Amino acid sequence: MEIPYTTEVRPDTGLTNPKLGIWLFLASEVMLFGSLFSSYALLRSGAPTWPVQHEVLSVPLAALNTVVLIASSVTMVMAWASLAPHTAAVRAGDGEAEARSLKRYRLFMGLTLLGGAIFLVVKSIEYSDKFSHHLYPATNNFLGLYFTLTGLHALHVIVGMIVNGFLWGPGARMWRSEPERFANRIEVAGIYWHFVDVVWIFLFPVLYLL
Amino acid sequence: MGHDVAAQVRSYMFVFGALLVLTLVTVGVSYLRLPETPAVIIGLSIALTKAALVAMYFMHLKGEKPAVYWPLGLTAFLFVGLLVSVLLSEGDHLFGTEFGDAFTKE
């Protein structure tokens, strides 16, 4: 059975199904992270004392990771922009446009994957530094929240990298057979990746700077 | 379509620059060691601005269809409701009110 409305717009929503689907999924993600941010606000505002966060955590490493994640969002959107203008040419059988745009797409998607990998390496350096100083999730409420929030976020980075890795490798075969559908996939995977970036944009000041 | 995407790519580069500048600003302001309330207001305002730029341009939310705006609006409303209701339980502590005492006093 063919999946409906993957490329053509559904008349009642005005959207393709994957576009509506990713936004509904992200709405649930907002509530997931929202509940944890609310827990942070409650536990911090109710605490008689709270650690000085920038003394416990490394602001330079987190700032580096912020720049890395923002840059990977830019390369992600560039990966989509490498494909989107050429869908009609590829469908018409223009082999040169197909190969050129795929090469450019793979470059930008590869850089996005590299950004995700650098982010995780820096995060693991931060984690191992905490552990070496005997700072664990059970040490206090702040560290419990820090590890829960950043751990859940890192899990989202890993999931995004698995999806992007598939789309960089075997998934890219769709570019030749169904170019519009593949470009839509990259846009939808990008919307998820940018959401992961947005979550970090809030985590950085809340956990490190304030 | 080609022309549209070329224009979009220019806007992506502008947004990239703005995000980098705002990241620098938020780190810089944190070194001023402001009192908690202004620090939170400034820090979260910058984060909200950055998130809005990413959502509008990278996530193509600018000019998106109402079928996306409505569920997202509802989600934002529910999230704010969750945050406020949770914080209200600490209202006396945060804002110096004494509503909690009404339940404990004879």
* A77·B58 Cβ contact <8 A: yes
Mean pLDDT score, A156-169:
98
Note whether A154 and A123 are within 8 A (CB): yes
Give the pLDDT confidence of A118-135 residue by residue, as tens digits: 999 999 999 999 999 999
Q: Residue B65: what residue type? A: K
* A210·B66 Cβ contact <8 A: no
Whether chain B has a CB inside 8 Å of the CB on A32: the answer is no
Query: Which of A38, A63, A88 has the CB atom closest to B86's CB atom?
Result: A38
Q: Which two tokens stand for residue A173?
A: 């075969």
Q: Do B49 and B4 share a domain, yes or no? A: yes
* B43·A210 Cβ contact <8 A: yes
Q: Do B49 and B22 share a domain, yes or no? A: yes
In chain B, the residue whose alpha carbon lies closest to the alpha carbon of A36 is B83
| Residue position matching structure tokens 């997931």 | A32
Q: Do B99 and B52 share a domain, yes or no? A: no
* B12·A78 Cβ contact <8 A: yes
Find the distance separating the first CA and the last CA of chain A, reported in whole Å: 52
Helix (H) / strand (E) containing A206? none
Task: Please tell me the total count of domains within chain B.
Answer: 2
Q: Which two tokens stand for residue A95?
A: 């082999």
Q: Do B40 and B9 share a domain, yes or no? A: yes
Q: Do B79 and B45 share a domain, yes or no? A: no
- pLDDT over 50 (residue B1): no
Tell me whether residue B20 is exposed, middle or buried, using C-beta atoms within 10 angstroms of its C-beta: 0 to 12, 13 to 18, 19 or more.
middle
Residues shown for chain B: 106
Mean pLDDT score, A94-105:
97
Residue B82: give the domain boundaries.
66-106
What's the pTM?
0.94
For an interface test with B, the pick among A100, A194, A207 (most B C-beta atoms closer than 10 Å) comes out as: A194
Query: Which of A14, A74, A191 has the CB atom closest to B12's CB atom?
Result: A74
Q: What is the pLDDT of residue B105?
A: 60
- Which structural domains are found in chain A, ordered by start? 17-47+59-209 (1.20.120.80)
Euclidean distance between CA atoms A179 and A7, whole angstroms? 10
In chain A, the residue whose alpha carbon lies closest to the alpha carbon of B19 is A70
C-alpha closest to that of B25 among B52, B51, B48, B43:
B43
Whether chain B has a CB inside 8 Å of the CB on A61: the answer is no
Euclidean distance between CA atoms A49 and A18, whole angstroms? 46
Helix (H) / strand (E) containing A54? helix A53-56
Q: What is the pLDDT of residue B104?
A: 67
Q: Do B20 and B60 share a domain, yes or no? A: yes
Chain A residues 67-96 with a CB less than 8 Å from chain B: 67, 70-71, 73-74, 76-78, 81, 84-85, 88
Whether chain B has a CB inside 8 Å of the CB on A43: the answer is no
Q: Do B52 and B16 share a domain, yes or no? A: yes
- pLDDT over 60 (residue A148): yes
Q: What is the mean pLDDT of chain A?
A: 97
The interface predicted TM-score (ipTM) is 0.95
Q: Contacts of residue B16 in chain A, CB cutoff 8 Å? A: 70-71, 74
The 3-state DSSP class for residue A13 equals: coil
Give the pLDDT confidence of B12-67 residue by residue, as tens digits: 999 999 999 999 999 999 999 999 899 999 999 999 999 999 999 999 999 999 99
Q: Do B19 and B53 share a domain, yes or no? A: yes
- pLDDT over 80 (residue B80): yes
- pLDDT over 90 (residue B5): no
Q: Do B3 and B55 share a domain, yes or no? A: yes
pLDDT band, very low/low/confident/very high, at A16 (cuts 50, 70, 90): very high
Q: What is the pLDDT of residue A81?
A: 97
| Residue position matching structure tokens 């450019």 | A104
Euclidean distance between CA atoms A191 and A13, whole angstroms? 18
Distances (CA, A) of B40 to A41, A49, A202: 12, 17, 12
Q: What is the mean pLDDT of chain B?
A: 90
Q: Do B35 and B52 share a domain, yes or no? A: yes
Question: Using only C-alpha atoms, what is the Rg of chain B?
Answer: 20
The 3-state DSSP class for residue A61 equals: helix
